[in-house]
Structure 1
Amino acid sequence: MTRVVAAARAGLREYRRTPVLLALFLALPAYSVGLFARLAPDESAALYLGDGAVRAGMPETFAALMTPMAAALAAGVAGLFLLSSSADADARLVTAGYRPTEVVLARLGQLSVVATAVSAVAVAVALTTFTPDHLGWFAAATLLAALVYGALGTLAGAVLSRMAGVYLVLFGTLADLFLFQNPLARDAPDGAAALPGNVPVAVAMDAAFAGGADLGEFAVGVAYLLAVVAAAAVAFYRSARG
């Protein structure tokens, strides 16, 4: 376990040598949440949450919706760059005596730290605009979105070039969390419930405006997370084995 922690710390230190990535991971969530909340019209709208509807201000609505989306976007890009940038280093670690499973755990831990950091930034900025009915569930939903899309970004990095992967993560995240899961729409598009952002957005909006969240629904999201993390672990394992 000591070697896993050491490898994860070394990977995190690499981010300090890439200021652009650091700015992306931290500034992007803050900018996205803050900008949309402040540009939203000062009006109220109906939000369709589950089987019912509630009314909320547009600034609060946009802040709540953009929080998991911004965290997911930043974490997705982090996962994409993590796999592509660490391949050579992981192969060297294996040559130096690390087991591939240790390398995989180190990279997953590294990705989890980034997902937690971007989620914390996004939630902190959202709190400058409104206070969710249940902050704990709201933060958990945001972290769930970041972890799911971080793992999906890793999978994108395994099969696509960096440029193509960035476009996929960018437009995929926007289409899923902002369009397909938008609570302002009375009827969700076909297939929206099967997309990665369905549970995180539903839980986040329920926590923000409906007083809490459905534990069973969140459990479904965790199961989805475990599935994509398992796939990401396979991608890291193959990368480490060369």
Structure 2
Amino acid sequence: MSTLRTTFEMGVREYARTPILLSLLAFLPVYLILVFHWVMPESRVTVDIPIQGAMSAEMTAVATVLTTPMAAAFVGGAAGLFLMQSASAVDGRLAIAGADAVEIVAARGGVLVLAALVGSVVSVGVLSAVMSVERLRWYLLAILLVALLYGGLGALVGLVLNRLAGVYVLLFGPFFDLFLAQSPLTDETHALAPFLPGHFPMKLAFDAALTARVVPRNLWFSLAYLAVLALVVGLGFRRGLRVD
């Protein structure tokens, strides 16, 4: 059995044995999305949608579309943080034993992608129980991009901060980025919004959720952001293995 497969299976089992990760996956999307959906007033608001400009939408729909990527980001970010920190000692021993470092990094990345995918599907599934979006596949893709980006950031945070500090960063970071800076309810775009990881995926998400059209450019920019982040995380993790 190859190092890639062995390490990937170890990572999946480790995820399944981590209660906090399973709790986040099972309960956070349900709680976060449904609570915001139910507490918001049934009124219409004006939102600024990238592809269409100002339009009227139900407040409950806007809140649900906003909180779904937040839930996926929390799940992905926590997976990146916890798996990175818990795997470092094991992976270091694997590297010393002669396992290929590239395969170790790829396997850990595969576990993170799987966690982000499952978190995204669960989050969009909860959303679909209370509302429908215009372009479901595009919306799911946007949510997956958010989860992957914050999964990568969670892994990066896990390389430089301890677990407690990392949890705080990954709680407040997505909230500021996705719920505040990228919100279509604000009159003016926040100065930091274009530089934050959620900028292009959230544009794609709102286009897909509330209009019948999407701008593919937002997908390409999101993928470029993700590729750079994956490279940085991979190099950082590879260096942490301390092998030449």
The normalised TM-score by structure 2 is 0.95
Q: 1:67: which partner in 2?
A: 68
Q: 2:13: which partner in 1?
A: 13
- Alignment of 1:202 onto 2:203: yes
SS in 1 for 2:129: coil
Q: 2:39: which partner in 1?
A: 39
C-alpha distance in 2, partners of 1:212/1:8? Answer: 37
> Which one-letter code corresponds to 1:194 in the other structure?
F
> Which one-letter code corresponds to 1:140 in the other structure?
L
C-alpha distance in 2, partners of 1:15/1:217? Answer: 31
Q: 2:147: which partner in 1?
A: 146
> Once structures 1 and 2 are overlaid, which stretch shifts more, 188-197 or 46-55?
46-55
C-alpha distance in 1, partners of 2:226/2:56? Answer: 30
SS in 2 for 1:128: helix
Q: Residues 111-158 of structure 1: CA distance to partner in whole angstroms, max 9, x if unpaired?
A: 000000100010000001111100011000000000001001111111
How many residues are aligned here? Answer: 242
Q: 2:131: which partner in 1?
A: 130
SS in 2 for 1:127: helix
C-alpha distance in 2, partners of 1:28/1:156? Answer: 21
Where does 1:20-169 land on structure 2 (aligned, <5 Å)?
Answer: 20-50=20-50, 52-169=53-170
Per-residue deviation, 1:3: 2.7
C-alpha distance in 1, partners of 2:97/2:25? Answer: 30
Aligned residues of 2:81 and 2:154 also touching (Cα < 8 A): yes
C-alpha distance in 2, partners of 1:118/1:133? Answer: 21
Per-residue deviation, 1:230: 0.7
> Once structures 1 and 2 are overlaid, which stretch shifts more, 141-150 or 182-191?
182-191
Per-residue deviation, 1:190: 0.9
C-alpha distance in 2, partners of 1:216/1:21? Answer: 33
Q: 1:4: which partner in 2?
A: 4
> Which one-letter code corresponds to 1:175 in the other structure?
F
C-alpha distance in 1, partners of 2:234/2:26? Answer: 25
Q: 1:240: which partner in 2?
A: 241
C-alpha distance in 2, partners of 1:189/1:17? Answer: 40
Aligned residues of 1:26 and 1:117 also touching (Cα < 8 A): no
Aligned residues of 2:3 and 2:100 also touching (Cα < 8 A): no
> Which one-letter code corresponds to 2:145 in the other structure?
L
Per-residue deviation, 1:16: 2.4
**What percent identity do the matched residue pairs reach?**
39
Unaligned runs of 5+ in 1: none
SS in 1 for 2:130: coil
> Once structures 1 and 2 are overlaid, which stretch shifts more, 229-238 or 104-113?
229-238
> Once structures 1 and 2 are overlaid, which stretch shifts more, 113-122 or 86-95?
86-95
Q: Residues 42-69 of structure 1: CA distance to partner in whole angstroms, max 9, x if unpaired?
A: 1111110126112111111111111111
Q: CA RMSD in A?
A: 1.4
Aligned residues of 2:47 and 2:184 also touching (Cα < 8 A): yes
C-alpha distance in 1, partners of 2:18/2:99? Answer: 25
C-alpha distance in 2, partners of 1:129/1:146? Answer: 21
